[in-house]
Amino acid sequence: MTGFVMYYDSAFMNETLQGYCNQHRIEWTRSRAYRKNDQAWVEQKNGAVVRRLAGYGRLSGLAAAAALQHLYENARLYVNFFQPSFKLASKQRDGAVVHKRYHPPLTPYQRLLASERIDETVKQGLCERFAALDPVALLTTIRAAQRELSSLSNRDTGAVGSPDQPQYLTAFATAWHSDYRAPKERRKNTTKHWWRNRADPFADSWPLVAGWLTAEPNLAASELLMRLRQRLPDLYPTGAQLRTLQRRVRAWRAERARQLVFAAISTTEAAKTMTIGSAR
């Protein structure tokens, strides 16, 4: 069996997927021959499917991965068996006007049953799977998974609607993404950047730097980095971490200034309390 896999992001096409494709004899290719615009068809699913289904919050951890997997498992069944879609049949240009004609809307499940290239055994298995599914139960599970993802996200993406809404049964075909709003139509909540994109280059040497700053608070970051290069040449061979060290030193001085201010306020309040007590 030979197929095609489109390469569009190293975060998705990793060594695990490469081993799977080699094991199942799936051919690797960037896109179809003479179809370089396939890239756009793949990337559009990030907004049309992924963001619309899971939201825009940042997810991290095993619990979020498990909830996301549970959501996709049920959404896959709902979309493939109960969500009809249009497919373009023909396109004709008349000057600046383009006339498009579409096939009647069908679900992927119905298209597989109508295909002559699908084995009858496979079609029988699909029919049995379809008979065992309940679209309302699938939507309820999808909504519960979305609420769980919203609680695990570090950004509130908006409340997920309840399946008890009056319009739920009358419009269940699109109820699972009816709460979606495009990014331009909503105000994004600002979230503090608490995660690191790369390893901290001063994680091991910061106690040494903090000692130098405590002894000489007016030392510049360039002087501190020069001392580090002399003391630890293997860790800092080029001195390219100057900007990072400047930010760390600025944060350290701001914290020390805050401590001094609050210490002075505490001392003043204590003196006032003692003065009032002695006056009484």
Q: Which DSSP string corresponds to 206-267?
A: HHHHHHHHHH-TT--HHHHHHHHHHH-TTT-SS-TTHHHHHHHHHHHHHHHHHHHHHHHHHH
C-alpha 260, offset from chain centre: 41
| pLDDT recorded at residue 38 | 66
| pLDDT recorded at residue 186 | 55
Q: What residue numbers bound the domain in which 226 lies? A: 206-279
d(CA 202, CA 237) in angstroms, rounded, equals 13
Whole-angstrom CA distances from 194 to 173, 190, 197, 206, 251 are 38, 12, 10, 19, 15
Does residue 191 lie within any of the structural domains? no
Does residue 192 lie within any of the structural domains? no
| pLDDT recorded at residue 18 | 81
d(CA 49, CA 71) in angstroms, rounded, equals 12
The model's pLDDT over 45-62, given as tens digits with 9 standing for 90+, comes to: 777 778 888 888 888 888
The pair of three-digit structure tokens given for residue 142, joined into one six-digit string: 């999808």
| pLDDT recorded at residue 156 | 46
| pLDDT recorded at residue 92 | 92
| pLDDT recorded at residue 16 | 81
Same domain, 219 and 128: no
The model's pLDDT over 128-178, given as tens digits with 9 standing for 90+, comes to: 999 999 999 998 899 989 888 888 886 544 434 444 445 544 554 455 555
- Bridge partners (DSSP) of residue 99 are 92
d(CA 107, CA 86) in angstroms, rounded, equals 9
What is residue 98's DSSP assignment?
A: E
Same domain, 40 and 132: no
- The answer for residues whose C-beta is within 8 angstroms of residue 60's C-beta and 6 or more apart is 154, 195
Give the position of tokens 């309302």. Answer: 136
Task: Report yes or no: 110 and 87 within 8 Å, Cβ to Cβ.
Answer: no
d(CA 249, CA 206) in angstroms, rounded, equals 10
3 state SS of 73 = helix
Low-confidence ranges of the chain (pLDDT < 50): 1-8, 156-165, 168-169, 172-173
Same domain, 166 and 75: yes
- Bridge partners (DSSP) of residue 92 are 99
Strand ranges, E, within the chain: 4-6, 27-29, 88-94, 97-102
Same domain, 72 and 165: yes
Counting the structural domains of the chain, the total is: 3
The DSSP bridge pattern shows strands 88-94 and 27-29 to be: unpaired
Strand ranges, E, within 146-198: none
Same domain, 150 and 85: yes
Q: How many residues does the chain have?
A: 280
Same domain, 213 and 177: no
| pLDDT recorded at residue 121 | 93
d(CA 271, CA 266) in angstroms, rounded, equals 9
Does residue 23 lie within any of the structural domains? yes
Same domain, 73 and 172: yes
Residue 262 has phi, psi (to 5 degrees) of: -70, -35
Does residue 188 lie within any of the structural domains? no
Give the position of tokens 């979230």. Answer: 191
d(CA 126, CA 236) in angstroms, rounded, equals 61
| pLDDT recorded at residue 265 | 67
| pLDDT recorded at residue 36 | 66
| pLDDT recorded at residue 159 | 39
Same domain, 66 and 177: yes
Task: Report yes or no: 241 and 201 within 8 Å, Cβ to Cβ.
Answer: yes
Same domain, 45 and 65: no
Same domain, 40 and 67: no
| pLDDT recorded at residue 108 | 92
| pLDDT recorded at residue 240 | 86
| pLDDT recorded at residue 110 | 94
